A and B are shown apart, each in its own frame.
Chain A
Amino acid sequence: MAASSSGSSTLKRTLCTFIRYRSVRCVRQCNASIRTVCTSGSTSQLQPKIQSKGVSSQLRGVVGLEIHAQIHATSKLFACSRVAFCSPPNSSVAFLDASLPGTLPVLNRRCVEAAVITGLALNCTINRKSLFDRKHYFYADMPAGYQITQQRLPIAVNGSLIYSYFGGRKRNQVLSRCVRIKQIQLEQDSGKSLHDDQRSQTLIDLNRAGVGLMELVMEADMSCGDEAAAAVRELQLILQTLGTCQGNMSEGQLRVDANVSVHCPGEPLGVRTEVKNINSARYVARAIDYEIQRQKKVLENGGIIVNETRAFDSKSGTTIPMRDKEGLQDYRFMPEPNLPPLFVYEDEASVPAGVNPTQVVMIDRLKAELPELPGVRRARMVDQYKILPEHSFTLVNEDGLTEYFERVVRNTKAEPRKVIGWVMKELLGNLNQQSLKLAQSPVSPEALADLLNVLESGHISSSAAKVVFQEMWKAPEKAVEQLVKELDLGLVSDREKLLKICQKVVDTHPEQLNVPTTKSNLLTIGGLDLESHTKLKWKNTLQADPTLM
């Protein structure tokens, strides 16, 4: 945008494309979208003492997380502009988002509700009164020169998150952990800067500026990458279940910063570093484990840990220091004077006179609408259907899978433990093989239930059922009975017919007769050769009623 002209027409024109300015970048290597306060008081923390090399093995990692979750809402936190991904640059920018002078923030109730719902799901205390503050720093994609956040009194505090992960030697043990949630605060997202180093230009897109974020601060209750990644995954699942955040990490809807330090158990915490911009749960684990190892090595070699901000480089799998001075920045916090305190109410009775109850956020209403949370659902699955705990994880992790499973169970006589096998093996196997989402599955839960009913009735064998399943996958329009008939997969129950077949096999393969005749051997023999010696298809040999063999 030209320096001199800034009329509204120019402004509107500008807002449909990138806002650009010439720049020579000198500070920032990685574009941290949201800066957070760096570890106060950490400088006074002790460097773990290393007496001998052997001690380093006693050093333990200490991990805390700060997670920014974009609130799933149609409009932004303080403006009516749409929240839209992948739309043309600066096409969803309200006057407030561009920080035009004279604009004022107006709080979006949906965002408050999302934070309260999330707080309730994470066992937080919801503050009946919370406050907004301004956090100041200059950055081109933060046009007001400050971010509105909740530094002094956030909307929710003192919660906890229970998460589980597979640990132990074989990684098959379900380990359960709890991390404390220090607080959840509402704040604005920033815009995005695109640096064109070749032309010394910076392009700014404000579509994301002002989108509502929940910053969740997890206490340093974790000790390794696996734990942190599991906590992130569990949080992601909870947010998705609640619908308060879509949780797609690669799209930046969920962004993780990790505070990592090492110490010897029983001793004060060590100096921590902050690893920023981790955009997948897998990278969370890798970044943290790398950082713990790095710190251990530094201490082992007699070095000291510097309180700094580092970035995770997914290509090399390492963390590298960010060349900015954010750690030294003073954010000059100040109360946001344009927003009165945010009040939420317990129930209708606690809403003061003169306040319209339909316009306020009421906790009991939101509580009543809380969906079944992943942890509760897993426990119920194990309890109600007697399935294995690890299966309950798979059921809950895959969006809609629990519902699918339960619909099959409702519609079939088959035992839930049998159903789960089919869901885990056949259904998920096929989905994974073809990289499909559950919603794209050609086999509906009712169809699977039909198949299992046919199987239960003894009309087909379980291996034949698997064949039918594959056919159903290819031709979802056909009913199970139709497929069974078409493929001629019904069990051969005619004794005479079976005898003839077997005789033929035996006759053509006298060498096989040395093998002791057992039921399974007979089947094998048939399986090997029937195709070539009879007009029946190979598969058909298995359809003999086992009791008759």
Chain B
Amino acid sequence: MLSLSIGEVSAALRKGRLSATELCRRCLNRIRKTRHLNAYITVTEDLAMKQAQEAELRLTRGKPLGPLDGIPFSVKDNFCTENIETTCASHMLRGYFPPFSATVVQKLLDQGAVLVGKTNLDEFAMGSGSTDSVFGPVRNPWSYSVSYREQSREQDPDSDWVIAGGSSGGSAAAVASLSSFMALGSDTGGSTRNPGSLCGLVALKPTYGLLSRHGLIPLVNSMDVPGIMTRTVHDAATVLDVLQGRDEKDSTTVESAYSPSSLPEEFDVRDICVGVPKEYHAPGMSAETLAQWGRVVALFERAGARVKEVSLPHTQHSIVCYHVLCCCEVASNMARFDGLQYGHRSKVDSSTEALYATTRHEGFNSVVRSRILAGNYFLLKQNYDRYFVKAQQIRRLITEDFRRVFQSGVDVLLTPTTLSDAARYSDFIQEDNRTRSAQEDIFTQPVNVAGLPAVTVPTALSSRGLPISLQLIGQSFQDMKLLTVANWMEQQLDFPIIRFHDDTDQERECKLGS
């Protein structure tokens, strides 16, 4: 039952085959059972049960609020949730209970969705492995899957596990481990798509401006978007429809009038032109990922879609450009954490300056601190033109690349999401956060620079038994069209449902549900 899609479980709830409280209880049990994944920072058990009871009342009366009524979900712990601790996985915000909820969270709650917990992440969403959290790293649920265990030489899963990807690794692990039916992530350089890809999920990064950022604790304001993680493209479309639209509290949002509310019934793949950017043949890409890319390109071609190679010449500079802009905004956004109004406050108070310095030193990890330092350097008067302005110019060029390609008749771009399947934790931490972020974000991050929508769809399991995914990139505010193509692709691929090697009741549940 827990591995069903939202569409399926919602139907079961409406038909009374399943009660919302029972569903919620099972998810909470599942959370307890998968605690070793470290997917959750906070489990909102009491609140969830209360919400589930309310949902049940509505469902039994035949008056659900919508397709998400009674559906358990989780939220990355960098979205504010009213009176629920919101930490950003940082010592700085431990014990911080925001007095308001993020708009996207509130919209889900208003639809009757049941919040089961807040999920783990890299501190302040800075990372690509969910390994740099003050609460410890997130483990990829696929580490415990039958497919992975069968090929692993290690007997003890605790000594051989793979990362969940990041920075929204907790959200991905929550959905992949079947304790949430959907999760909110945030995506600044790939933070939703990267873990979505490594955990075998559908992960959507909507167009910048389509979803409100109000209540999302920012990393890079000009690139951040709330991301949606689900098990199917259809579910992602359902959630997108609930979340999209202008929010008065976020001046960068726009009306979603021209974005349809659901996937079209009729879709002919032969009307579609798929672009394959040649620059995405990056060094370091695994042979298997390349093979999957080729396989899906062939799939489109065989089905009659037009496939053409395109060029995005400035994409190669995206990582450097992103690095500069990210550090600048980080330096600025993090300035508010001074320990005076909220959050951690150091006991050193010999002077106001000393209080600031020690509070910030104690509160932030070295990744955050180094980005702040770099950002402040780039913003210095004497450096501003050389770094910030240059980076903005390159950003414009990257955006222009995409625009040109889409103007040439291309509807969507097909690329890998990550270089390879998930790395072992022990391998991943051999390199520092900055190097890893630069490597891991290479395919995902130009999309953020340009503000475009993109979705990752799992295509197959690698020889290690881990998910490999591909990314589709769409035109601005064509999110539903993008999902329509992704939906078609998903249907052709038949990606397997996760099976846990030590889990007997999962099979039983599956039968029960279907």
Contacts and interface: CB of A to CB of B under 8 A. Distances in A.
A101 B80 contact: yes
B97 A12 contact: no
Contacts of B351: 23-26
Contacts of B343: 6
Given A6-B342, A101-B217, A332-B376, A146 B332 contact: yes
A338 B217 CA distance: 13
A174 interface: no
Contacts of A178: none
Interface in A6-50: 6-9, 11-12, 14, 19, 21-27
Nearest to A21: B340
A168 interface: no
Contact of A7 (B95, B100, B218, B352): B95
B89 to A, nearest CB: 13
Interface residues of B, number: 58
A307 B274 CA distance: 62
Interface in B78-101: 79-80, 82-83, 88, 93, 95-100
A11 B99 contact: yes
Contacts, number: 156
A337 B222 contact: yes
B341 A19 contact: yes
B339 interface: yes
Contact of A5 (B95, B339, B356): B95
A82 to B, nearest CB: 18
B355 A23 contact: yes
A214 interface: no
Contact of B341 (A1, A27, A105, A134): A1
Contacts of B388: 334
A107 B251 contact: yes
Contacts of B88: 101
A334 B251 CA distance: 18
B481 interface: no
A100 B342 contact: yes
Contacts of A332: 331-332, 376, 379-381
21 contacts: A3-B345, A4-B344, A5-B95, A8-B83, A8-B98, A11-B341, A11-B342, A24-B349, A25-B352, A101-B88, A104-B214, A107-B251, A136-B331, A140-B340, A143-B341, A145-B332, A145-B335, A332-B332, A332-B376, A334-B328, A337-B220
A106 B335 contact: no
A107, A145, A337 pick with most chain B CB within 10 angstroms: A337
Contacts of A333: 379, 384
A101 B221 CA distance: 12
B205 interface: no
A205 to B, nearest CB: 12
A7 B96 contact: yes
Given A4-B95, A106-B251, A334-B379, A98 B341 contact: yes
B5 interface: no
B482 to A, nearest CB: 23
A138 B338 contact: yes
Nearest to A14: B341
A98 to B, nearest CB: 5
Given A101-B336, A334-B329, 14 more contacts: A3-B347, A7-B83, A101-B218, A103-B215, A104-B250, A105-B251, A106-B251, A138-B338, A145-B332, A146-B335, A204-B340, A337-B252, A339-B251, A340-B251
B49 to A, nearest CB: 22
Interface string A96-120: 0011111111110000000000000
A440 B376 CA distance: 56
The 7 closest A-B pairs by CB, nearest first: A145-B335, A3-B345, A332-B379, A7-B97, A337-B221, A8-B99, A6-B342
A8 B220 CA distance: 25
A26 B351 CA distance: 7
Interface in B50-81: 79-80
Interface string B219-250: 01110000000000000000000000000111
Given A6-B342, A99-B336, A12 B214 contact: no
B96 A6 contact: yes
B380 A102 contact: no
State which size class the interface on A falls in.
Answer: 35 or more
Identify which of A2, A21, A25, A101 gathers the most chain B CB atoms within 10 Å of its CB: A101
Contacts of B98: 8, 100-102
A27 B388 CA distance: 31
A338 B376 contact: no
A340 B250 CA distance: 10
Nearest to A40: B381
B102 interface: yes
A12 B102 CA distance: 18
B252 A340 contact: yes
Given A21-B340, A98-B341, A6 B328 contact: no
Given A100-B342, A104-B214, A143-B341, A330 B95 contact: no
A144 interface: yes
B328 A3 contact: no
Interface string B317-341: 0000000000011011011111111
Contact of B335 (A9, A23, A136): A136
A47 to B, nearest CB: 24
B139 interface: no
A1 B339 CA distance: 10
Contacts of A26: 351-353
Given A24-B351, A338-B251, A3 B342 contact: no
A337 B329 contact: yes
Given A8-B83, A102-B102, A102-B218, A334 B350 contact: no
Contacts of B336: 99, 101, 143-145
A106 to B, nearest CB: 6
B213 interface: yes
Contacts of B220: 337
A138 B218 contact: no
A107 B252 CA distance: 12
A42 B80 CA distance: 46
B256 interface: no
B248 A106 contact: yes
Contacts of A11: 97, 99, 341-342
A95 B251 contact: no
